[in-house]
Amino acid sequence: MSNNRKLILITLFTALTLFPAAPAFSQALSSGELIKEASKYDGKTVTYAGEVIGDIMRRGESAWVNISDGNNALGVWMSAREAKEIEFAGNYKNQGDSLEVTGVFHRACLEHGGDMDIHAKKLRKLATGKEIKRALDAGKKKLGIVLFGVLFLIWILTLFKHR
Amino acid sequence: MILKPRLEDLKIIGFYLGKIILGLAMTMSIPILTGLFFREFNPVLDFLIGIEISVLLGLLLIKLCHTEKDLNWMQGMIVVSLSWIVAMFVGAIPLYLSGHWKSFLDACFDSMSGFATTGLALVQDLDHMSYTHNLWRHLIMFLGGQGIVVIALSFFVRGFSGAFKMYVGEAREEKILPNVVHSSRFIWLVSCVYLVLGTVALGITGIFGGMHPFNSFFHGACIFMTAFDTGGFSPQSQSILYYHSAAYETITVIIMVLGALNFKMHYHLWMGNRKEIFKDIETSTFFVTVLATFSIIIVGLTQIGTYPSIWVLFRKGFFQLISGHTGTGFQTLYPAQFLADWNHLAIVGLIMAMGLGGAVCSTTGAIKMLRIGIIFKAFKEDLKKIIMPEKALVIEKFHHVKEIFVEDKLVRSALIITIAYIILYVLGALVGMFYGYPFLSAFFESTSAAANVGLSCGITDAAMPAALKVTYMIQMWIGRLEFMSVFTILGFLIAIVKGK
């Protein structure tokens, strides 16, 4: 390899490492940061993590998955094949899968009517969700019974009064 | 001389208040049945406790204040004012017990926001809420939109002359049919027919959008209830943005506009009298104000260039505008985006739309189209008087159900309420500014609360000062009842203290 070619390759490698085509934000960003500084991240590759919530809405070969980091939920546009890997979506009875998404962030996505979204390039499951077991609250049960007793007493007293 | 209210006045007020509380308690059986169906037993317990407390309170008032007497005007107005406060407390019990609100004050905030069809919310972790509690959030908006007293009039009160006094107290001075009980039942009929149609339309759209069929119809019913009653609560934290669907947004826009129409207009439409919609001053004023405020928003958004195409600009701008103008409060933007992505001009356009509202005798709040139309007609009349020769007789009239002449008394009444609303918007903004929020965001949130809209630019949050929460709650209450009932209760309190 000639010295010139070596020099070109080294220069290219250095340039691509230091100045990638579209700056990527490898550290996971919060929904608050993305919403408040949307213009800064618009069109950039970002990493965002959170819990899958609600419905997995399949639209042809792709799907909408809403992912919440606890403060806000952001819409993530991913392939239907990847969405199929999601086992649990968060709701009252389930804790949703926890996902880390790396993709292109749009402040107002032209493809999706101006919605703020992330078009996923890479997904990583951080944790699988689970069913939430909820035991009957003993305190509420007691309160319910006591109040029912008081109402029953009033009803009995009313009956006696009418006689 | 101010007369001190007699014990008999208090008894009559207490008796009818008790009846309304019992009516509200009965409505809690709907979420209980839902909870049993979904096997959500802890939420069912919350509502059982809620019913028990409400029935106890209602029975206590009925027994202690038992009377055969009918209401007079003052008592009717006070019953209405107090029933909305009592409804707030009663409705907040199951909400607070769910653990999704940080304090009872926060639960009361959402309860008042629900009953007053506002839509501002302090709920936490909404995406993990039970079907039972979620249904209740939307149901209280549906009940509040119809009017708490309308419920009582429709089902629990059998034709007494005091009925009209309570009906008027709920900001519905227009009877659709000669009898208020029949008017109330007509309101329910319209709402229930649209409920079925709207739920089916949204449910099918949701299924085509990839939602689980059952969830889709549940969401459809919830969204319909809060769209038609121009409330704005939604089952998920992202509001309408959750669905990522233009079709869903279009249907909600249609439902919101239907909700902003006068129930009397619905009556005419049902009777096949479609010409009425083009003749009525309210619909023409609504058309003009939508056009005017949307133009302001379009200019503002074009200046800032947030949206990459005219279609996107139209979709985002028009949806927020209709949501604000009809007093609904659905969003397809995150609250912080208003301040980050919209410029001041676009925000002011939206604030103006929020402050104007929909038709009288609808579920919207704010100044309302009839008053705006009357004031505009009065301006036109005065302008004509200046231009025309002195001897010319200038008469302005407008069409609202029938032809009406613009009289000074009518203009005065429209102006008083308009000024009262503007003062209410400004007072709330001052409190917001007192707590350090900038003028524009404080005015945005205050107008949203007082006009019963529910759009938020981010101030409404569980962390905001308690006094600001109370301010917004009072604004929602006064805004929903349109001042008269609230003024009466203030007068009543003064009479208790100062009367002889």
- Tens digits of per-residue pLDDT, B208-235? 999 999 999 999 999 999 999 999 999 9
Helix (H) or strand (E) holding B312: helix B310-325
Per-residue pLDDT at A15:
52
Token pair 């506002």: residue: B118
This prediction has a pTM of 0.89
Tell whether B55 is within 8 A of chain A (Cβ).
yes
pLDDT < 70: residue spans in chain A? 1-26, 162-163
**pLDDT, average across residues B95-111:** 96
Q: Does the pLDDT of residue B154 top 80, yes or no?
A: no
**pLDDT, average across residues B90-99:** 96
Long-range CB contacts (< 8 A, 24+ apart) of B261-266?
Answer: B261/B358, B261/B359, B261/B362, B262/B174, B262/B359, B262/B360, B262/B361, B262/B362, B263/B176, B263/B183, B263/B186, B263/B187, B263/B190, B263/B361, B263/B362, B264/B174, B264/B176, B264/B361, B264/B401, B265/B359, B266/B190
* B 1-20 near A (Cβ less than 8 A): none
Q: Can you tell me the distance from the alpha carbon of A148 to that of A7, in angstroms, rounded to the nearest whole number?
A: 87
Taking a C-beta distance cutoff of 8 angstroms, is the pair A20, A41 a contact?
no
Quote the ipTM score.
0.85
Nearest to A113 among B45, B237, B246 (CB): B246
Query: Which has more confidence, B272 or B302?
Result: B302
**Model confidence pLDDT, tens digit, residues B166-209:** 655 565 555 555 566 677 777 778 888 999 999 999 999 999 99
Q: Does the pLDDT of residue B124 top 70, yes or no?
A: yes
Q: Does the domain spanning A23-131 belong to CATH 2.40.50.140?
A: yes
Task: Categorize the per-residue pLDDT at B76 as very low, low, confident or very high, splitting at 50, 70 and 90.
Answer: confident
**pLDDT, average across residues B415-429:** 95
Nearest to B209 among A35, A57, A113 (CB): A57
Task: Categorize the per-residue pLDDT at B482 as very low, low, confident or very high, splitting at 50, 70 and 90.
Answer: confident
Helix (H) or strand (E) holding A142: helix A138-162
Domain range spanning residue B246?
177-464
Is the domain of B338 the same as that of B458?
yes
Is the domain of B316 the same as that of B458?
yes
CA distance A132 to chain B (A): 10
Q: Does the pLDDT of residue B24 top 80, yes or no?
A: yes
CB atoms within 10 A of CB B305: 10
Residues in chain A within 8 Å Cβ distance of B45: 136-137, 140-141, 144
Closest CA to B198 of B236, B247, B266, B252: B252
**pLDDT, average across residues B454-475:** 96
Task: Categorize the per-residue pLDDT at B72 as very low, low, confident or very high, splitting at 50, 70 and 90.
Answer: confident
- Domains in chain B, number: 2
Percent of chain B with pLDDT over 70: 93
Q: Does the pLDDT of residue B88 top 90, yes or no?
A: yes
**pLDDT, average across residues B335-357:** 95
Tell whether A62 is within 8 A of chain B (Cβ).
no
Per-residue pLDDT at A5:
66
Of B34-43, B258-267, B352-361, the least confident: B258-267
Tell whether A142 is within 8 A of chain B (Cβ).
no
- B127, A151: Cβ pair inside 8 Å? no
Is the domain of B357 the same as that of B399?
yes
Is the domain of B438 the same as that of B492?
no
Task: Categorize the per-residue pLDDT at B492 as very low, low, confident or very high, splitting at 50, 70 and 90.
Answer: confident
**pLDDT, average across residues B237-260:** 95
- A38, B340: Cβ pair inside 8 Å? yes
**Model confidence pLDDT, tens digit, residues B319-344:** 999 999 999 999 999 999 999 999 99
Is the domain of B324 the same as that of B355?
yes
Per-residue pLDDT at B288:
95
Is the domain of B258 the same as that of B336?
yes
Q: B22, B128, B129, B456: which to substitute to probe chain A, counting the most A Cβ within 10 Å?
A: B128
**Model confidence pLDDT, tens digit, residues B399-410:** 887 888 988 999
Is the domain of B92 the same as that of B204?
no
Per-residue pLDDT at B111:
96
Is the domain of B183 the same as that of B263?
yes
**Sequence spans of domains, chain A:** 23-131, 138-163
The conformation of residue A58, written as its DSSP 8-state character, comes to E
